[in-house]
Structure 1
Amino acid sequence: MFGVNIVRKIILSADSTCDLSESLKQKYGVNTYPLHVILGEKEYKDGVDISALDIYSAYEKHNILPKTSAINVNEYLDYFKDWVDQGYSVIHFNIAASLSSSYQNCCIAAKELGNVYPVDSCNLSTGIGLLILEAAEMIERGMEPEDIVSEIENKRTKVHASFVLDTLEFLYAGGRCSALAALGANILNIKPCIEVDNTSGMMKVGKKYRGPLNKVLKKYTVDKLTEHDNLKLDRVFITHSGISEEMINIVRRTIEETAEFKEILITQAGCTVSSHCGPNTLGVLFMTE
């Protein structure tokens, strides 16, 4: 079984922002803890009692977007304590420290409990997920927690995460771009690529595509996969915030035509990506050697 090494007693864990599907979490033995999502007067748990569809519905009906808040120290203490008391070591992956205080809070809890190893992923969504699956394979090989964390930290800059946005409406509503930029993008049919800086986890605007979404996604996929001549061909993620099967299949076929990945994994993004980027957002996320 992936994720829990019975002999060395290692638990693999992550914030909900890793955006791994339930089937992947089960296969690799990944435990997750939800970030908080505040929508209007109510607080929810990311991926537990709120989804991307709920966010889009709230925006459409009430013109409100959620805010996310970090997992606090006491939550981490309660979450890890039973495992630590049973003699397990816990390797826990956090969303980039530059994006949330979850990592800092996790470090405080880890220092108090011992045998908890927080990892600043310097990433988000399945950019974190790629590192988690690498760690699961290391656990399976019998590596020690300290060595796994060290190896993962060396691999962070090998993760390439980006997304194409169909609309800037949600970035504008969340105060992350100007009304003029949003209007201009809409009029000119511009679909920007948002990239993750894999040394910090910060977001930046990459290439700006123009045209219908099906053609943009095909061009974006080819661009990203041909930027590098040393692709790690174990797996690639197609992660989306809610998009048609037609668009997913276009991207899947484009990947198959461009590179020989052993696995093409499809997941739907949770509330963090969805609330910032809006519907029809799609990313191709992979690693290099």
Structure 2
Amino acid sequence: MAVRIITDSGFDVPDASDARLTVLPLSITFGDTTYADGVDLTNDRFFELLIESDELPKTSQATPYAYTQIFEQVRAAGDEAVVITLSSGLSGTYQSALTAAADYPEVHVVDSKNVTIAQGILVQYALRLVDEGRTAAEVASMVESARERLVLLALLDTLEYLKRGGRIPKSVGAIGELLSIKPVVGVRDGEVVMLGKARGSKNGRNLLHQEVEKNGIDFTMPVLIGYSGLSDKLLRKYLEDNRAIWEDKVAEEDLPITSVGATVGTHVGPNAIALAFFRRE
């Protein structure tokens, strides 16, 4: 009996081609056109549309029916599965998976309580556990335990998209842009929170570095670094300035870097940089 890992396109990893992994695409709508995230909408094309559009796109959660179709395949193959969803605090996708799984005892549902690359490293950890021969129940339990050490930190280049999405008042957004405020955000209890603000990009990168050091990275566990938009230039600058974090641990050419997709990109806009890791015990 094989163990399969199922997630949604709210996660971001450099390579999602693992045969044991099924990714359920979320829907992204620009105007009258709806795309299946990661299927007919690449990350680069998403950011091109985001920059060109006057309005933010709308994202739709996965439905119980979509999960049921996948669960039927799991049952037909005689397998079992672990579903890892994006945070229930940010989407109804977790509830959809839970509803669908009620009739499938071979399926275990885990709320990542996170999103994007943090959800991604939780999925990578789950696949590592499958490699070790763990059962689905064991994988789900160990993923839930590791989730408590999960850290996602991000430096935003602009407040524009938070303002347009109504997540901050327009007056705050206007003042922030005028003063070149760079916020550092994280995820706590499944929801995005502001951790601090800095004036200018250099100070923003320093603030992000302070938050990383405050937590400490467990390099025995998966780590991911992400950027939003069409260029990783700002991320490369951050890595160059803070080389000490990685030296003697990960070769520069082996740093796990990926682009951030539509689920988070809608709200942070282009040129954000992010790190996801497990806090040292």
TM-score relative to the length of structure 1: 0.88
Look up the match of 1:203.
192
| TM-aligned CA deviation for residue 246 of structure 1 | 3.1
CA positional deviation for 1:116: 1.1
Deviation at residue 99 of structure 1 after TM alignment: 1.1
1:142-186 deviations in Å (ceiling 9; x for gaps) = 111111111111111201102111111111111111111111111
CA offset digits 1:185-230 (Å, max 9, x no partner): 1111110011101xx210111110111x3x245414421221035x
* Residues 154 and 208 in structure 2, CA contact (< 8 A), matched pair in contact too: no
After superposition, residues 245-256 of structure 1 pair within 5 angstroms as: 245-256=232-243
Shift of 1:242: 1.7
Partner residue in 1 for 2:68: 77
Structure 1 stretch 245-254 or stretch 93-102: which is displaced more? 245-254
Q: Does 1:19 align with 2:6?
A: no
Asked if residue 64 in structure 1 is aligned to residue 55 in structure 2, the reply is: yes
Residues 39, 67 of structure 1: 8 Å contact kept: yes
Letter in 2 for 1:286: F
Amino acid at match of 2:101: A
1:282 equivalenced with 2:273 (yes/no): yes
- Residue 274 of structure 2 aligns to a residue whose secondary structure is strand
Work out whether residues 28 and 136 of structure 1, in 8 Å CA contact, stay in contact via their aligned partners in 2: no
Q: CA RMSD in A?
A: 2.0
Aligned residue identity for 2:180: N
- Cα distance, 1:54 vs. partner? 3.9
Report % sequence identity.
26
Q: In the comparison of the two structures, how many residue pairs are matched?
A: 275
Partner of residue 244 from structure 1, selected from 225, 231, 248: 231
- 2:218 paired residue among 215, 232, 240: 232
Normalised by the length of structure 2, the TM-score is 0.90
Q: Does 1:33 align with 2:32?
A: no
Distance 1:220 1:59, change over 3 A: same
Q: 1:112 aligns with which of 70, 79, 103?
A: 103
Q: Is the 8 A contact 1:95 1:121 kept in 2?
A: yes
In the alignment, the residues of structure 2 paired with residue 30 and residue 253 of structure 1 have an alpha-carbon distance, to the nearest angstrom, of 33
- Post-superposition shift, 1:129? 1.1
The whole-number CA distance in structure 2 between the counterparts of 1:124 and 1:62 is 24
For residue 263 of structure 2, the aligned residue among 272, 278, 281 is 272
C-alpha change, 1:269 and 1:168, in structure 2 (3 Å) is same
Change (3 A) 1:287 1:65: same
Alpha-carbon distance, 1:274 to partner: 0.8
Give secondary structure in 2 for the equivalent of 1:113: coil
Whole-Å separation in 1 of the counterparts to 2:20 and 2:49 = 33
Matching residue's letter, 1:46 = D
**Aligned residue number for residue 126 of structure 1:** 117
Residues 1:91 and 2:77 are matched in the alignment: no
Contact 1:163/1:282, CA 8 A, preserved across alignment: yes
Per the alignment, in what secondary structure is the counterpart of residue 232 of structure 1? coil
**Structure 2, unaligned stretches of length 5 or more?**
none
Give yes or no for contact 2:27–2:35 (8 Å, CA) kept in 1: yes
Unaligned ranges ≥5, structure 1: 1-7
For 1:145 and 1:59, how far apart are their aligned partners in 2? Answer: 38
Following superposition, the deviation at residue 69 of structure 1 comes to 1.0
Q: Does 1:193 align with 2:180?
A: no
Which residue of 158, 171, 179 corresponds with 1:180?
A: 171
- 1:60 CA drift (Å): 4.3
Superposed displacement of residue 276, structure 1: 0.6
